[in-house]
A and B are shown apart, each in its own frame.
Chain A
Amino acid sequence: MKVSMDNMSYEDAFERLENIIAEMESGQLSLDTALQKFEEAIKLSRICRSFLDKARQRVDLLLRDEEGHLSLEQALLGEDLPSD
């Protein structure tokens, strides 16, 4: 199964990785397929790790303007909302 990995969410990558492990541990795969899964697993683990490695926290404020429209605004973190 070909899955586009470009926009894969962390959760999808994590779940796909769990599926691959189940398939590989079943011992039912041909060597060629296993090899493909092996490679896919490496890519998936990179997606997961690059997400986890993100270091910067982002805080947005959800505000409703006078016309009643909702908008997101990046919070300017002052003393009360400490940033690092």
Chain B
Amino acid sequence: MLFTGLNNTAVITVSELNRQVSSIIGLNLPWVRIRGEISNLKISASQHVYFTLKDSESQVSTVLFRSAASKLKFRLEDGLEVIIAGEVGLYEKRGEFRLVAQALEPAGIGALQLAFEQLKARLEAEGLFAASRKRAIPRFPLAIGVVTSDRGAAIRDILNILRRRMPAVKIILVPVPVQGEDAPAAIAAALRDLNEAGNTDVIIVGRGGGSLEDLWAFNEEIVARAIAVSAIPVISAVGHETDFTISDFVADMRAPTPSAAAELAAPDRAELQRDILMKMKRVRSSMFALLQLRQSELRVIHEGYVLRRFPEELAEYHNALQNSITVLDNLFRTSLAAMESKFISSVSALDMLSPLATLQRGYGIVRSIVDGRIVKHSDQLAIGEEVDVILFQGGFKGNVTEVRNESLHG
């Protein structure tokens, strides 16, 4: 017999063999750390993760159970080089040994860094960072939503800046935790709440400076998606100048700090006050310019009139044309006279009104209540008609009790 030497050894079952192998493995390889590349990655319906870990020559089946898999910040994918801490066990049913991973981290790069790069690449591929998606931040917001902690430095900075720049703007604060396990869902919910509540023109979402872990909530997909679907434009302001988060990329605008976000969100009132003043100066000077324009137009008409008199003189030699030219000339005279009188009355009305200086000398402007036009001739008025009088300071309304038709200038 081939197995003569083993004749005294007890015959065991397959299960018994596997149990013994399993216990030997367990005793000799209680805990291992292994580096290798992931391939054949599969995720079961119950969220357990199965893959083959390999190097250039060998491979080993690996399982990462759901409880451990759910703690990973980054995504597992084929080709990813990882370091696994786990146990080696025998899958007794099949007689195959496998690695049961308890913890897993990417090799050569931090887990958070990898998670950041992965999410960034994924959302970018989806087009969420596209410039065409960015909405303009409104020029004059009446209400600014702020999603941050009510205890942090960020809200203090934002309120200080807004109070200085534009106290008229209302602030709607949605207090949220900005770090820790609950932060991402709370921040996302706050963005949805502001959209639901309405009456907010722009939202600042962010927090003050901290470590990469402290800022992590703003690198979570749930926050990025809430920003992306917000109907209200969002300014992301996380940490310091040098901190970039996924929120920054997906937001309509990135601010380097919360203070800077407040400056981007609200215009400076001192600047706007100066601007209004400049605008009113332009209004006034265009009023004067219009006056000068009308004057020069009148001059042109006068000159034109003189030139057109030549044909009339020529007509003395062309009797055939005499009658028609006379008719034209009369027409022209009449219309010019009408234009002139209209102009003079408009000019005098404007002279009284535009430059407040004239009013200051004690003049008033009388306007008909009926059609709003300035009264230049008493025949524009009827007894009993109501008029509005503008004075240098204020004005008054009155009733016409008498109408005189004699003119001051004959």
Q: Hey, which bits of chain A sit against chain B, CB under 8 A?
A: 9-11, 14, 17-18, 20-21, 24-25, 27, 29-32, 34-38, 41-42, 45, 48-49, 51-52, 54-64, 70, 72, 75, 80-82, 84
- Tell me whether B290 and A24 are in contact (CB under 8 A): yes
- The 8 Å CB contact of A56, one of B142, B167, B374, is B167
- Tell me whether A24 and B140 are in contact (CB under 8 A): no
* With A49-B273, A52-B269, A60-B170 as contacts: A80 and B150 at CB distance below 8 Å: yes
- What distance in Å separates the Cβ of A3 from its nearest Cβ neighbour in chain B? 15
- Tell me whether B273 and A62 are in contact (CB under 8 A): no
- Tell me whether A84 and B163 are in contact (CB under 8 A): yes
Q: Chain B: how many interface residues by the 8 Å CB criterion?
A: 54
CB of B145 within 8 A of chain A? yes
Q: Of all chain A residues, which has the CB nearest B292? A: A27
* With A21-B286, A62-B197, A64-B193 as contacts: A49 and B171 at CB distance below 8 Å: no
* With A60-B170, A61-B175 as contacts: A31 and B279 at CB distance below 8 Å: no
* Residues in A neighbouring B189, C-beta threshold 8 A: 64
* With A60-B172, A81-B150, A81-B155 as contacts: A38 and B272 at CB distance below 8 Å: no
- What distance in Å separates the Cβ of B339 from its nearest Cβ neighbour in chain A? 12
- Tell me whether B151 and A80 are in contact (CB under 8 A): yes
CB of B123 within 8 A of chain A? no
* Residues in B neighbouring A84, C-beta threshold 8 A: 163
- The 8 Å CB contact of B168, one of A27, A52, A81, is A52
CB of B14 within 8 A of chain A? no
Cα–Cα distance between A58 and B159 once the two chains are bound (Å): 10
- What distance in Å separates the Cβ of A12 from its nearest Cβ neighbour in chain B? 9
Q: Hey, which bits of chain B sit against chain A, CB under 8 A?
A: 138-140, 142, 145, 150-151, 155-156, 159-160, 162-163, 166-175, 189-190, 193-194, 196-197, 269, 272-273, 276, 279-280, 282-284, 286-287, 289-291, 293-294, 346-347, 349-350, 353-354, 372-374
* With A80-B156, A81-B150, A81-B156 as contacts: A27 and B289 at CB distance below 8 Å: yes
Q: A25-B282, A61-B150, A81-B156 are known; give 16 further A-B pairs, CB within 8 A.
A: A9-B140, A11-B138, A17-B283, A21-B286, A27-B289, A29-B290, A35-B354, A52-B272, A54-B168, A57-B167, A59-B172, A60-B172, A64-B189, A81-B155, A82-B159, A82-B160
* Residues in B neighbouring A45, C-beta threshold 8 A: 276, 279-280
- Tell me whether B167 and A38 are in contact (CB under 8 A): no
- Tell me whether A70 and B196 are in contact (CB under 8 A): yes
- Tell me whether A31 and B350 are in contact (CB under 8 A): yes
- Tell me whether A62 and B174 are in contact (CB under 8 A): yes
Q: Of all chain B residues, which has the CB nearest A9? A: B142
Cα–Cα distance between A41 and B354 once the two chains are bound (Å): 12
* Residues in B neighbouring A35, C-beta threshold 8 A: 287, 349-350, 353-354, 374
Cα–Cα distance between A29 and B170 once the two chains are bound (Å): 39
A–B pairs, 29, beta carbons within 8 Å? A10-B140, A11-B138, A17-B283, A31-B291, A31-B346, A31-B349, A32-B373, A34-B290, A35-B350, A36-B372, A37-B283, A38-B287, A41-B283, A45-B276, A48-B276, A49-B276, A52-B168, A52-B272, A57-B163, A57-B167, A57-B169, A59-B170, A62-B145, A62-B172, A62-B194, A62-B197, A81-B159, A82-B159, A84-B163
* Residues in A neighbouring B347, C-beta threshold 8 A: 31
Q: Of all chain B residues, which has the CB nearest A51? A: B168
* Residues in A neighbouring B193, C-beta threshold 8 A: 62, 64, 70
- What distance in Å separates the Cβ of A42 from its nearest Cβ neighbour in chain B? 7
Q: Of all chain A residues, which has the CB nearest B271? A: A52
- Tell me whether A21 and B282 are in contact (CB under 8 A): yes
- The 8 Å CB contact of B279, one of A18, A37, A55, is A18
- What distance in Å separates the Cβ of B371 from its nearest Cβ neighbour in chain A? 10
Q: Which 5 A-B pairs have the closest CB atoms?
A: A54-B168, A24-B286, A31-B346, A11-B140, A41-B283
